[in-house]
Structure 1
Amino acid sequence: MKILTGNDLATGDVIWWTGSGWSRHVEESADVGEKGDEIAQTEAAARRVNGPYIIDASRDEAGIRPAHIKDRIRALGPTVRLDLSLKPADPTVGTWVI
């Protein structure tokens, strides 16, 4: 199975091609087969997705599972607890550097 992924241009979120549009849920992915490159080019040219690429995946009783660990992490979310992640800078505090 081949599925198409990329990032949403407005939010940066990981998105997955559904066959008729984009979703933030990997389980809604459609098998793009041999048309993956064509779909990726069309969607990127229309500025609906940033950096689309095709990945190998499999479907089992648990749903769609990307073959590569990088894409599994992209599908399932952060690998650290959110309370341990960096906090955004507070723009109300004097001067700060990004």
Structure 2
Amino acid sequence: MKILTGNDLVTGDVVWWTGDGWSRLVADAVDVADAGEAIAKREEAARRVNVPYLLDAALGETGPVPLHIKDRIRAAGPTVRPDLGVQAEQVARESWVI
């Protein structure tokens, strides 16, 4: 499974491609398969997202789970204060186990 991520140009938040827009929750991400590069180029050119890139993920109980630790951290929010960040509630509910 391939998912697409980047940073929102207005807020700076980590965002995930949902198939028709961007979400701050990785659980909303969809498999972009072979279309990922084209979506990334289009969204970056439209200045909706900064530095979009594809990453490997596996389908977990509540949606995609990034396979690389860097992207799991990006999905979870700040590591120094797990009670902060957009995904704090999501992380509290999930085990992040594939």
Q: Percent identity?
A: 66
User: CA–CA distance in 2 between the matches of 1:17 and 1:81?
Assistant: 25
**What are the Cα deviations for residues 39-79 of structure 1, in whole angstroms up to 9, with x where unaligned?**
00000001010000000000122432101000000001111
Q: Which runs of 5+ in 1 are unaligned?
A: 84-98
**What are the Cα deviations for residues 5-41 of structure 1, in whole angstroms up to 9, with x where unaligned?**
0000011100000000000000000100001000000
User: CA–CA distance in 2 between the matches of 1:40 and 1:62?
Assistant: 24
How far does residue 82 in structure 1 lie from its aligned partner after superposition? 6.9
RMSD: 1.4
Which structure would you say has the larger Rg? Answer: 1
TM (norm. structure 1) is 0.80
Q: Which residue of 2 aligns with 1:17?
A: 17
TM (norm. structure 2) is 0.80
